[in-house]
């Protein structure tokens, strides 16, 4: 445990949460929580496309919210940092696709091994090496490429839903300009809900249901590990943690507990394997929302991440109801809210990508992430980091930290001779 970073602790966390709670971090937490709830639609879509039973898919989402919500209470509270916990979306798509090929129990067995690998990497303190091999401009290039779609999705409704999209977007900027005491996201949320109520949105299909996660025993096979477990471990260690750490640092925080994030994600993934869930990790888009300027002052943004965990735990048993409610909303609603919440985060990521060293690798990372390509069934986010870092190492080796550190050693050795 010596490599796990020290935090502020949990003893005073409840008191500090109440002290630091304000309109800014509350609104950011609510927006990030709504975004996380809407991400369940991705799981349902992936499960449906793979031909998985609807009952399993619903349990999958319920476990995603309940388990990750619980872990999401402790990590930000312990470190007093905006570190919301969710699951890997690339991992979710891979999980849904591999179940028909190897079986559910076998896929969960591979999940358990992947979590153990991530746990070992975090406990051993190897994330510092990973972060040196994948420099910040390359990480932020991947982040900018991934988040760019949230920006484009925000403006796309202007094509087919010009009036409501214009009203919501303009309300954000008018609030930022003239209502400085009211968080702009809160205004946009209220304006959007008000517009839907005024326009007569149909909520007749909304139904109430209650369900809890169910235990399942994983099974271990080499085929499932090679097809899914190993790629998932690489995604958790090489993509999810660097992306989350990069976002936190990009928002002005001097450090982020990379080893603890990886270790907790690995342990959470091992727990998840017994409850129909494929992973636990830091949530990059929600980290962007919770750590961004819209969440208020730096020292109080951690509250937004805890609020995400509270929302997840509360909504999990009722996700059947939440899902039907989200389905009743126009698709542009979540797209516009998420895009506005991430606007300054995208801007910051773009700035860090293209204003420093590793220019070639960072650009390559950005382009791969934007492209959405898949290689060997693994998504573009992972390959953006691997290929971006590999290309930068080939043509920009002097930009890496270890190349700079090795120079003084060589000079010292020369002087000794």
Assigned domain for 407 exists: no
Domain region containing 139: 13-350
Assigned domain for 277 exists: yes
Q: What are phi and psi of 283, to 5 degrees?
A: -100, 105
Under the banding of pLDDT at 50, 70 and 90, the label for residue 380 is confident
Residue 389 has pLDDT above 60, yes or no: yes
Q: N- to C-terminal Cα distance for the chain?
A: 40
Residue 408 has pLDDT above 60, yes or no: no
pLDDT digits (tens, 9 = 90+) for 65-89: 999 999 999 999 999 999 999 998 7
- On average, the pLDDT of the chain sits at 84
Assigned domain for 208 exists: yes
State which of 5-19, 94-108, 357-371 shows the largest mean pLDDT. Answer: 5-19
pLDDT digits (tens, 9 = 90+) for 226-237: 878 877 887 888
Q: Count the domains in the chain.
A: 1
User: Length of the chain, please?
Assistant: 417
Determine the Cα–Cα distance for residues 375 and 364; give it in Å rounded to an integer: 16
User: Would you state the pLDDT for residue 161?
Assistant: 85
Residue 62 has pLDDT above 90, yes or no: yes
Residue 94 or 56, more confident: 56
Assigned domain for 399 exists: no
Determine the Cα–Cα distance for residues 264 and 281; give it in Å rounded to an integer: 8
Burial class (CB in 10 A: 0-12, 13-18, 19+), 95: buried
**Residue 71: closest CA among 338, 239, 316, 289:** 316
Under the banding of pLDDT at 50, 70 and 90, the label for residue 64 is very high
**Residue 266: closest CA among 107, 160, 122, 384:** 122
Residue 411 has pLDDT above 50, yes or no: no
Under the banding of pLDDT at 50, 70 and 90, the label for residue 122 is very high
pTM: 0.72
Determine the Cα–Cα distance for residues 167 and 95; give it in Å rounded to an integer: 39
pLDDT digits (tens, 9 = 90+) for 130-158: 777 777 788 778 778 877 887 888 898 88
């Amino acid at each position: 445990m010596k490599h796990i970073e020290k935090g502020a602790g949990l003893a005073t966390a409840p008191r500090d949460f109440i002290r630091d709670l304000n309109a800014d971090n509350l609104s950011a937490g609510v927006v990030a929580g709504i975004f996380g709830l809407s991400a369940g639609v991705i799981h349902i879509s992936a499960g449906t496309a793979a031909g998985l039973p609807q009952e399993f898919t619903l349990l999958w989402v319920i476990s995603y919210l309940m388990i990750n919500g619980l872990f999401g209470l402790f990590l930000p509270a312990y470190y007093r940092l905006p570190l919301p916990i969710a699951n890997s979306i690339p991992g979710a798509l891979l999980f849904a696709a591999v179940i028909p090929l190897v079986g559910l129990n076998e896929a969960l067995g591979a999940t358990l091994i992947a979590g153990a690998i991530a746990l070992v990497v975090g406990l051993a303190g190897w994330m510092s090496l990973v972060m040196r091999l994948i420099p910040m401009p390359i990480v932020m290039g991947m982040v900018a490429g991934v988040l760019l779609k949230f920006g484009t999705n925000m403006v796309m409704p202007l094509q087919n839903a010009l009036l409501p999209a214009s009203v919501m977007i303009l309300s954000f900027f008018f609030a930022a300009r003239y209502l400085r005491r009211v968080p702009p996201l809160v205004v946009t949320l209220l304006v959007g809900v008000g517009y839907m109520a005024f326009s007569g949105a149909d909520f007749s299909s909304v139904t109430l249901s209650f369900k809890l996660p169910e235990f399942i025993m994983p099974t271990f096979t080499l085929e499932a590990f090679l097809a899914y477990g190993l790629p998932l471990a690489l995604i958790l260690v090489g993509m999810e943690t660097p992306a989350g750490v990069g976002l936190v640092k990009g928002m002005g925080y001097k450090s982020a507990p990379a080893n603890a994030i990886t270790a907790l994600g690995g342990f959470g993934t091992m727990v998840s394997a017994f409850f129909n869930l494929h992973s636990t990790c830091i949530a990059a888009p929600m980290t962007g929302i919770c750590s961004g300027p819209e969440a208020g002052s730096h020292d109080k943004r951690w509250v937004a991440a805890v609020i995400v965990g509270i929302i997840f735990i509360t909504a999990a048993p009722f996700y059947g109801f939440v899902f039907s409610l989200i389905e009743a909303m126009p698709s542009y609603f979540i797209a516009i809210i998420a895009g506005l919440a991430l606007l300054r985060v995208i801007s910051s990521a773009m700035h860090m990508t293209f204003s420093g060293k590793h220019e070639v690798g960072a650009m390559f990372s950005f382009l791969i992430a934007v492209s959405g390509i898949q290689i060997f069934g693994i998504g573009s986010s992972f390959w953006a980091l691997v290929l971006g870092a590999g290309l930068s190492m080939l043509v920009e080796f002097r930009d890496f930290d270890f190349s700079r550190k090795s120079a003084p050693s060589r000079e010292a050795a020369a002087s000794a001779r």
